[in-house]
Amino acid sequence: MSDANVINVEKFHFFVVGKTDKLIQNMSGVRCHMSLPVSVGVLLVGLPYSISLAAQWLYGWPNKPGYKKYIEALKPRRIYCLTRAVLETLKYLQYGRLYFQWKSWYKNEENRKHYEKGITFGRRSNKLDLYHPPNVDRCEGVPAPPVVFIYGGAWGSGDRSIYCLLARQMAKELNATVICPDYFVYPKANVLGMIQDIVDCLIWAQESGQKFNFDKDNIVLIGHSAGAHLCTLAALFLIDGREELFIEPSKQAAITLAIRGVIGLSGVYNIVDHYEHEQKRGVEYVSTMHKAMNGVENFPYYSPTHLLKKLSQDKLDRIPPFALLHGTDDIIVPFDSSAKFCDLLTSLSVKVSLYLLPRVDHTEIVTDLMVPDRRFYHPIYSCIKQEYRKLLGAW
């Protein structure tokens, strides 16, 4: 081969290699430019849809016939709202330390001197824990008044052991015997069954006061969220003499007289209004509420606000005083729930106090009652103690 041909071949080789390198560089650039939009698309579209579809698959699809439930489930607004609601639950990770605190305390057998654990009660053989007031001699002292604490959990979850630290501190702060019962939740029971369980706990308290040295005739109900709703309904059902409680009228009358008051923490009092709030948040189908109440048609039946409007004046006169506490930063149950309920009770001449707590959210109003170093421990207990003393009079 001549030198000229060799030179031409080398030039061709460099030309091809140069073009190939440029082509590879151009393709890499295209891939880089494409990867950013794809990543953004996955983040803004793929992730929310994945989270929302997983939530709906686990907890319930929209109540629509046939394929329409999937069309409703895929609406952009529902995806956005539901994803936001799911991501909001990540803040519960901040309670990891508190979780290990109560878990450890409840398992420690040395703490059994402070409470009676796993007492069976009621028609469904539920369990309750009873916490003794630390400043009262149980053998010789005056019987302490009992507080029955009903935890929340959206009518579908909860366990008495979670609230052991709260019950212990409440017994100390109020100088009371604190009773913390379990109750059947959905799907094991509907709301009526939950009310029956709470009333069964009150019957147990009436029958066990002498044994455990507490004053069975001075009971205060305290409930959080769904627990506040159930406390309120239990009191109103007893006053109304509901046959569906399946309790003798004489027992209903005795329990009604023993209830000195109800303290509601971030409670739900109008189920119709709360369902509308759930719709705005896009969680109405994954929520346990409508299932636990056997459908939207039963919302008025299970709404304290609706029940109050149907009571006669004689029964209204027997309603115990209410104290309502609600955080202004609550997005799960807006503070309007307590404010509107307070207005209704006032209009019906029922004694009621309302405390709107600045910067407190739905969880803090109960978790911050568990240990004294929590941010809102003292402000919240200050309100509870003030109302508790009023409910019991000069005790």
The answer on pLDDT for 241 being more than 70 is yes
How many of the other CB atoms lie within 10 Å of CB of 147?
25
Structure confidence at residue 48 (pLDDT): 66
Contact 288, 154 (CB under 8 A): yes
Same domain, 175 and 321: yes
Of 28, 57, 89, the last residue of a domain is: 89
Host domain of residue 164: 108-392
Confidence of residue 186 (pLDDT cuts 50, 70, 90): very high
Average pLDDT over residues 206-210: 94
Q: Is residue 154 part of a domain?
A: yes
Q: Among 76-80, 218-222, 294-298, 363-367, name the one with the lowest average pLDDT.
A: 76-80
Tokens representing residue 341 in the block:
């309920």
Question: 154 with 38, same domain?
Answer: no
**318 and 352 in one domain?**
yes
In this prediction, residue 94 carries a pLDDT of 85
Please give the pLDDT value at position 376.
Answer: 97
Phi, psi of 308 (to 5 degrees): -60, -40
Asked, for residue 119, whether it belongs to a domain, the answer is yes
**Residue 392 has what pLDDT?**
92
pLDDT at position 284 over 90: no
The band of 289, judged by pLDDT with boundaries at 50, 70 and 90, is very high
Q: Can you give the CATH number for the domain in which 169 is found?
A: 3.40.50.1820
Give per-residue pLDDT as tens, 336-362: 999 999 999 999 999 999 999 999 999
Domain end (from 35, 62, 89): 89
Q: Are residues 277 and 147 in the same domain?
A: yes
Is residue 208 one of the residues assigned to a domain? Answer: yes
261/164 same-domain check: yes
Helices (H), the chain: 3-41, 47-59, 68-73, 76-88, 96-107, 164-174, 191-212, 226-240, 249-258, 271-281, 289-292, 304-310, 313-316, 336-347, 364-367, 377-392
End-of-domain residue from the set 89, 124, 150:
89
The reply to whether 7 and 153 lie within a common domain is no
**What is the pLDDT at residue 370?**
97
Residues 275 and 237 in one domain: yes
Average pLDDT over residues 292-308: 96
Angle between helices 164-174 and 377-392 (to 10 degrees): 60
d(CA 389, CA 382) in angstroms, rounded, equals: 11
Please state the domain count of the chain. Answer: 2
Over residues 184-189, mean pLDDT: 96
Residue 30 maps to a domain: yes
pLDDT band at 216 (very low <50, low <70, confident <90, very high): very high
- Supply the pLDDT for residue 93: 83
Supply the mean pLDDT for the chain: 87
Mean per-residue pLDDT for 270-289? 92
Residues 282 and 179 in one domain: yes
Q: Residue 15's pLDDT is what?
A: 42
For residue 98, pLDDT over 80 is answered with yes
For residues 299 and 293, is the Cβ–Cβ distance under 8 A? Answer: yes
Is 103 inside any structural domain? no
Sheet holding 259-265, edge to edge: 115-121, 126-131, 177-181, 146-150, 219-224, 259-265, 322-327, 352-357
Do 176 and 264 belong together in one domain? yes
Predicted confidence band at 85 (pLDDT cuts at 50, 70, 90)? Answer: confident
8-state DSSP, 62: -
Q: Is the predicted pLDDT of residue 11 greater than 50, yes or no?
A: no
Could you count the other beta carbons within 10 Å of the beta carbon of residue 372?
A: 12
Q: Residue 118: is its pLDDT beyond 70?
A: yes
**Residue of 17 and 49 predicted with greater confidence:** 49
**pLDDT at residue number 381:** 98
The verdict on 75 and 222 lying in the same domain is no
Q: Are residues 125 and 191 in the same domain?
A: yes
pLDDT-derived band at 137 (thresholds 50, 70, 90) equals low
Question: DSSP per residue over 352-383, as a string?
Answer: EEEEEETT--TTHHHHTTSSTTSTTHHHHHHH
Distance CA 31, CA 261 (A): 68
Report, as an integer, the average pLDDT of 221-234. 98
- Which tokens hold the place of 20? 């190939």
From the list 104, 101, 225, 96, the residue with the least C-alpha distance to 158 is 225
| 308-325 pLDDT tens trace | 999 999 999 999 999 999
pLDDT band at 252 (very low <50, low <70, confident <90, very high): very high
What pLDDT is stored for residue 45 in this prediction? 59
Mean pLDDT of 245-262: 94
Question: In this structure, what is the dihedral angle of CA atoms 140, 142, 143, 144, given to the nearest 10 degrees?
Answer: -120
Whether 97 is in a domain gets the answer: no
Structural domain includes residue 96? no
How many whole angstroms separate alpha carbon 93 and alpha carbon 9? Answer: 68
| Residue 351 CB contacts under 8 Å (≥ 6 apart), including other chains | 321, 322, 345
Predicted confidence band of residue 4 (pLDDT cuts 50, 70, 90): very low
- Shared domain for 12 and 125, answered yes or no, is no
pLDDT mean over 373-393:
96
pLDDT category, 7, cuts 50, 70, 90?
Answer: very low
d(CA 227, CA 262): 11
Q: Is residue 98 part of a domain?
A: no
Beta strand pairing status for 115-121 and 126-131?
antiparallel
Instruction: Give percent of the chain above pLDDT 90.
Output: 70
Q: What is the per-residue pLDDT across 31-54, written as a single tens digit (0 to 9) for each?
A: 545 565 655 555 555 666 676 667
